[in-house]
Amino acid sequence: MRSLLGCIVLVTALVSDHVHGQEITNHTIDVEKVAKLVLPNNHDTRVIGGQVTTNWKLGGYLMALVYAGDFVCGGTLIHDLIVLTAAHCFLGRMKVSDWTVVAGISKLDQKGVRRKVKDFILSEKFKEEDMNMDVAVMLLKSSLRVKGIGKLSLCSVNLNPGLELTVSGWGMTVARGSGPQTLLRTVTVPIIHKSNCRAAYQPMAKITDSMICASVLGKKDACTYDSGGPLVYKKQVCGIVSFGIGCASKRYPGVYTDVMYVKPFILKSIKVLLKR
């Protein structure tokens, strides 16, 4: 397993795509130090091939998840008190009181509507080694029933190959003269045939039943720091940004947690959390 992981890291380092003249070298599947999954690197790694948008335009459902003052992941409001995100966002960040959910912002430096977190549940099947079941549910200390802030419902459509969904998120760019960028971006990506995705990732990563793949190879994809954010189809959250080798790679699609598949976990967790 160790050599496989080393291999992933190596290949990731080698896979360096040139999109729109920008070099995007990403280390998103450095599973040995998976905390790195949500750290910025030295290159522009925002939603790739998309456009700048506002949270308002999207519907106000996108949350910025902040840990100890640092932006870490995206999330989706699915109930006035509940946020859906990825389990890997919590690696090394298990202290409930250090989490803040920021709603209603488009630029990361905005104040927005802030909520402390009362509790969270990660799928107990989640393993950082294989990223299986990369899903988590957070309970807020007080309601986000606020003007301008919206919710998504849980997916109820089959994600057939070719179906187009929207993924949005904040990526941090490390200043290369121009200073940090904090704008929200969105891009539309089609579902990729699971068998193709499996084959592409063979033997680097196992595409499990809890995963779905989407991107336009070489052109459109989510990227580091988009993690935990929603892949959306008609006001429904159908995927959760999970991982990828590189971003907008010509070979490796973006991998998302399949919300239809993990729905039993989500519904059960909501029930448990709302009783706390």
Q: Which residues bind ligand ARG (CB under 6 A)?
A: 28, 37-38, 221-227, 241, 243-244, 247, 254
27 in active site:
no
Q: Which of 44, 88, 215, 249 is catalytic?
A: 88
CB of 223 to ligand ARG, least distance (A): 5
CB of 256 to ligand ARG, least distance (A): 8
16 in active site:
no
Which two tokens mark 261?
């598949």
| Buried-state track 203-234, b at ≥16 Cβ within 10 A, e below 16 | ebbebbebbbbbbbbeebbbbbbbbbbbbbbe
CB of 108 to ligand ARG, least distance (A): 14
Between residues 28 and 210, which has the closer beta carbon with respect to ligand ARG?
Answer: 28
Distant-in-sequence, close-in-space partners of 128: CB < 8 Å, separation ≥ 6 = 31, 34, 88, 91
Between residues 159 and 223, which has the closer beta carbon with respect to ligand ARG?
Answer: 223
CB of 147 to ligand ARG, least distance (A): 29
20 in active site:
no
Between residues 27 and 115, which has the closer beta carbon with respect to ligand ARG?
Answer: 27
**Cβ-proximal residue to ligand ARG, closest one:** 244
Between residues 41 and 53, which has the closer beta carbon with respect to ligand ARG?
Answer: 41
Q: Which of 44, 134, 226, 258 is catalytic?
A: 134
Between residues 77 and 211, which has the closer beta carbon with respect to ligand ARG?
Answer: 211
CB of 258 to ligand ARG, least distance (A): 14
Q: Which of 227, 242, 249, 269 is catalytic?
A: 227
Instruction: Show which residues are catalytic.
Output: 88, 134, 227
